[in-house]
Amino acid sequence: MSNIVAIVGRPNVGKSTLYNRLTESRKAIVDDFSGVTRDRHYGASEWTNHEFTVVDTGGYVANSADVFEAAIREQVIIAIEEATAILFVVDVTTGITDLDDEIATLLRKGNKPVFVVVNKVDNTSQVSDASEFYSLGLGEIYTISSMTGSGTGELLDEVVKHF
């Protein structure tokens, strides 16, 4: 069974940008089922000779705030069930939101390794802004820029230790 790395987080934090970076030049191996899997995309990736499957979540179809939150909650619960490790993506430019706090609460109850990935740290002057994300209560934080790729190697070095 392949190692699965699930990317979760609220909309617009950069989950799909990170997914594309981790799976670039590789064809998606599984795609587009019905129901909740409609909102999950699986792709192949590799780091330092460790092969793994990356899952992108999102693209929620919802007609109310409650349904929307429920959709995110469901994705997080599936990630806790199926993933070897979870990348919880947050956005340094917005800071912690209520939805981030709710996702963090769910992830703290799960028994899977969680990596707090502070995205959109495009230059070093933003690194200090990221320290507020320690208050999510999920341990170490990893500052990255999915746009430039900066920080993703350091993150993956730690993730593959859980395989």
Backbone phi, then psi, for 29, in 5-degree steps?
-90, -25
Q: Which residues pair with 6 in a beta bridge?
A: 55, 86
Judged by CB under 6 A, does residue 97 bind ligand GDP? no
* Residue 96 contact among Mg ion, ligand GDP, none, beta carbon within 5 to 8 Å by kind: none
Nearer to Mg ion, 15 or 116 (CB): 15
With H, G, I as helix, E, B as strand and everything else as coil, classify residue 76. Answer: helix
58 labeled binding residue: yes
Q: Which stretch binds ligand GDP (CB under 6 A): 35-43, 73-81, 114-122, 133-141?
A: 114-122
Backbone phi, then psi, for 79, in 5-degree steps?
-60, -45
Q: Which stretch binds ligand GDP (CB under 6 A): 62-70, 98-106, 124-132, 139-147?
A: 139-147
**What minimum distance in Å lies between the beta carbon of 161 and Mg ion?**
27
| CA distance linking residue 81 with residue 104, whole number of Å | 16
| CA distance linking residue 5 with residue 88, whole number of Å | 10
Judged by CB under 6 A, does residue 147 bind ligand GDP? yes
All residues at 6 or more sequence positions from 42 whose CB lies less than 8 Å from its CB, including other chains: 28, 29, 30, 31, 53, 54, 55
Q: Residue 142: which of 94, 99, 103, 92 has the closest Cα?
A: 92
Judged by CB under 6 A, does residue 151 bind ligand GDP? no
Which residues lie near Mg ion (CB under 5 A)? Answer: 15-16, 58
* Residue 44 contact among ligand GDP, Mg ion, none, beta carbon within 5 to 8 Å by kind: none
Residues 41-60 that bind ligand GDP (CB under 6 A): 58
Residue ranges binding ligand GDP (CB under 6 A): 9, 11-17, 58, 119-120, 122, 145-147
